[in-house]
Structure 1
Amino acid sequence: MKKSAGTTIIAITGGSGSGKTTAARRLWELIGKENCQIISQDSYYHDHSAQFKGDGTVNFDHPNAIDFKLMADHLKKLSQNQPIEIPIYDFVTHTRKEKTIRVEPFPYIIVDGILILSQEILRPFFDFSIFIDISEETRYARRLKRDVEERGRHPDGVKIQFDSFVKPMHETFVQPSKHFATHVSYDNQSLNEMLADLTKNLLSK
């Protein structure tokens, strides 16, 4: 893989509810929005509409649910100073919308997602990678609050989904990927310090 000398790609990952999206936005602000762009794993779900026509259930936490090949192709293009067209996934119809989001190359690209470090096809693109290692209890509490307050979910349904899909996929794919991280954070204080130090290091070059 040949990367543009001016492109730095940073992965921020961890389990559902670990705070990775908040961390990605914080780093985006620290580096400067004019110099940085966030790419989310959630944009790359496959079309799953067929499974929802009957009683099928989709495991959105399994790598097979996501088009990592397209994601890798996009990271390659960005790293070679080429623009990309990011899909927009419709979580109501479980399809990709016809409209896409055009993203121009930036000096810094932040990639956010629970499974990104588990994928061998993506890891070569990351110059830095942060794994946020937060306890299951904290992650579940955050997910429960989000799903009930923001998505109108019933607490029982959130618990069933967590136990049936989120937890086993975390143990199988997400947690083992910590091994590939260049930085690991275990609490908010260390995470904030890590983001500040990384920003200082990046912008001093």
Structure 2
Amino acid sequence: MKQFYIQAASSEPPIIIGLAADSGCDKSTFMRRLTSVFGGEAAPPKGGNPDSNTLISDMTTVVCLDDYHSLDRTGRKEKGVTALHPHANDFDLMYEQVKAIKEGRAIEKPIYNHGTGCLDPPERVDPSKIFVIEGLHPMFDARVWELLDLSISLDISDDVKFAWKIQRDMVKRGHSLEGIKASIASRKRDFDAYIGKDPQKQHADVVIQVLPTELIPGDNEGKILRVRMIMKEGVPNFEHVYLFDEGSTISWVPCGRKLTCSYPGIKFAYGPEVYYGHEVSVLEMDGQFNKLEELIYVESHLSNTSSKFYGEITQQMLSHADYPGSKNGTGFFRTIVGLKIREIYESLRLKKAEKKELTKVQAF
């Protein structure tokens, strides 16, 4: 029998966030933006395995779901499956450990060593106020998905993903173009079946969809992006962000005296849609900012951003101007999602405190 947890429930169990995305979708930058909202830089556990995938900051813990691989690299090769295939992952252990964290218990979690392709001895992970599970399958198993307080999917189109992988693997890692194409092709069947199509995106509360720009016909370089934040209606403690007029259909090109724009310009859109049978609201940005400080002009036209003061989104973006995506919708919308997670945490904490007070009153 595997040991799932090692201590009694804490007084304040965490909220659980699930982030689904394929390899190469820049989840790490998302995590850095998220943890910065709550303060402190995310870092591996002190004194632990240097190959740990876990990141801890003042209020957050981020666990990589690669640690729940049931097959190491050799085992996957022998069975002819990729890491995306369910047979290569231990969903029972994932469920038991996320459930334990949800109940305020520490766990002994495996470590998947990306260098060796093997599973290292487990590490202790304690509950934190914000607990994020990120990787390929946070919403694949219904038991795990139902434990999430907010589920997010990064949906990167094939064209953009290919451009990003070339920039990362060919330019930075010295991989050949043929090798990159072969790697993508080897994962495509399992990605479509278990990650990219219906199985997880339909369950996500928020989808950040990254597409090629429509401002440059036929563009496939992946440098100018069209990014859509798809927000499901009726999510507890989550009010969707809207542009100008809630529920309306808006198209806005703000370039002019208050927003510096060079070719191909910048365009925003907002409106209701239906996504996998769910009513959603969609906020879209196509293009990029020339001067990041001018983002405050766009921010002033948005409502329900969950910011605590005027200009907080712009401040967050400027403080991390060196992060990838800071001038386009990927950084902009990921920052907003970080503020939304903070609001959900504070709302749930308040409800727990009110429930506790009510229990005390009823006891007298």
Q: TM-score range by the shorter chain?
A: 0.7 to 0.9
CA contact (8 A) 1:129 1:183 kept: yes
4+ residue runs over 6 A deviation: none
Q: Choose the corresponding residue for 1:124, options 146, 168, 172.
A: 146
Q: Which residue of 2 aligns with 1:193?
A: 336
Task: State how far apart, in whole Å, the 2-side matches of 1:193 and 1:171 are.
Answer: 28
Determine which of 8, 22, 33 is the counterpart of 1:26: 33
The question of whether the paired residues in 2 share the 8 Å contact of 1:39 and 1:112 is answered with: yes
The answer for unaligned runs of 5 or more in structure 1 is none
Shift of 1:40: 0.7
The answer to whether the 8 A contact 2:95-2:144 is kept is yes
Q: Which whole-Å CA distance do the structure 2 matches of 1:13 and 1:42 have between them?
A: 12
Identify the residue that residue 64 of structure 2 maps to in structure 1. 40
Deviation per CA, 1:151-188: give whole Å up to 9, x if none: 554332221121121x2222212131111011122221
- Contact 2:21–2:134 under 8 Å retained in 1: no
1:97 aligns with 2:97: no
Q: In structure 2, how many angstroms separate the alpha carbons of the residues matched to 1:81 and 1:89?
A: 24
> In 2, distance between residues paired with 1:106 and 1:55?
38
**Corresponding residue to 1:160 among 178, 182, 188:** 182
SS of match in other structure, 2:32? helix
Maintained 8 Å contact 1:15/1:139: no
Is residue 107 from structure 1 mapped to residue 129 from structure 2 by the alignment? yes
Alpha carbons 1:4, 1:79 under 8 Å: kept: no
Going from structure 1 to structure 2, the CA distance change for 1:138 and 1:95 (only over 3 Å counts) comes to: same
Root-mean-square deviation (CA, aligned residues, Å) is 2.7
Higher relative contact order (CA 8 A, sep 6+): 1
- 1:72 and 2:95 are equivalent in the alignment: yes
The answer to whether the 8 A contact 2:107-2:126 is kept is yes
* Structure 2 counterpart SS, 1:121: helix
Q: Is the 8 A contact 2:10 2:105 kept in 1?
A: no
Superposed CA deviations along residues 90-139 of structure 1, whole A, max 9, x for unmatched, are 345432123x2211111210110122212223111101011122211112
Q: Between the two proteins, what is the percent identity of the paired residues?
A: 25
- What is the aligned residue count? 201
- The 1:4–1:42 alpha-carbon spacing in structure 2 relative to 1, beyond 3 Å, is farther
Q: State the partner residue of 1:134.
A: 156
Structure with greater helix share of residues:
1
Quickly say closer, same or farther: Cα 1:37–1:158, change in 2 above 3 A: same
Provide closer, same or farther for how the CA distance between residues 136 and 106 of structure 1 changes in structure 2, counting only shifts above 3 A: same
CA contact (8 A) 2:13 2:103 kept: no
Say which SS state the counterpart of residue 169 (structure 1) adopts. helix
Change in 2 beyond 3 A, CA 1:46/1:131: same
